Amino acid sequence: MTTPQAQRPPSGIYRALVWGLFLFCVSFALIGGVIAEHAMTLLNCQPHADIRAGSCSFLKNALALRLTPFLSADTPLDYPFMLLRNFWGLILVWLAAIAWSRHAWQHPSSPSPASTARHASVPATISLQQSLHQVLQASFWILLIGLIAFCIAFGTPFLSTYLAREILQMIGCNPGAFDPLVSACMAKLGFWTPRLQPFLLPFLGQLGSPLWLFWQFGDVLAYWSALIAAVLGLKVYVAHRIAVTKVA
C-alpha cells in the first residue's frame, strides 16, 4: 500500500523547476548569443572583473560577466561549452533544488485533508517515478558517452590535430600547413582558438594530444564530470524512491 504523499502527482514547483532547467539549458545551448545580447541590453552595464571598475551593481556585474563570453563566440558550437563553463554552479544548485522539491513532495511535514483524500493507483505512481528515472538514466548515458567521445577526439594523436584544423576552418580560420601559429586568425579570442593552438604544433601537437586535452580543456572536463555526478546522484535517489514505493 502506498502512502498518501506518494499517491499525489508531482508538485507545481517540482515541474516548474524541471522544465525551467530544461528550457534554460536548451535555450543557451542553441541561441546563447541572442539571449546574451538581449540580456546585456536590458542590464545596460559594462561588466568588469573588479566590481569597483565596472558600471553596474554586484548582481548585474556577476550576471553580465557570465553572459559576455556568449557575445564573442565564433559559432553556435561554442554555446554548449560556454553554458557549462559559465553556469555550472547555477545548474548544480538548480538540480539540488529539484531534488529538494521532490523530497518535500514525498515527505510533507503535515499532510492536509485534501491531499489525503486523493487516491491514485500504485502502478501509476511507480510509472511516474520510472519515467523520471528513465529520463535521468538517458541523460546520464548521453553525458557520459559525450564525455568519452570528447576525450577520444581530442586525446588521440593525429586525430586531435585533424579535428582542431577542421573546427578552426568551420569558424573561418585557415591556419595553413607550414607554420599554423603565425596565421592572423590564430590571435582571435574565443572559446576554440586559444584552446586548439597547441594541437597544431609540429610533432609535439600530434603526440602530446593527451596532455593538451587536460591542459586546454581541464575546466570543461571538470564541469562535465560534475554534471554527470549530479545526474547520477539524482538517478540513484529516484531508484531508491521507486524501491520504497514498491515496498510500501
Ranges of each domain in the chain: 10-107
* pLDDT, tens only, 87-135: 888 888 888 888 888 777 776 655 454 444 444 455 656 667 777 778 8
CA-nearest of 31, 239, 23, 26 to 135 is 239
pLDDT band at 2 (very low <50, low <70, confident <90, very high): very low
- Residue-wise pLDDT for 205-247, tens only, equals 778 888 989 888 888 888 889 888 888 888 888 887 777 766 6
User: CA quadruple 198, 199, 204, 209: dihedral positive or negative?
Assistant: positive
239/5: higher pLDDT: 239
- DSSP annotation string for 109-173: SS--HHHHH----HHHHHHHHHHHHHHHHHHHHHHHHHHHHHHHHHHSTTHHHHHHHHHHHHTT-
In 3D space, the residue among 132, 133, 130 whose CA is nearest the CA of residue 122 turns out to be 130
pTM: 0.52
pLDDT digits (tens, 9 = 90+) for 188-209: 666 777 888 888 887 787 788 8
How far apart (Å, rounded) are the C-alpha atoms in residues 34 and 28? 9
Q: For 118, list phi and psi in degrees, rounded to 5.
A: -75, 145
Position 85 scores a pLDDT of 84
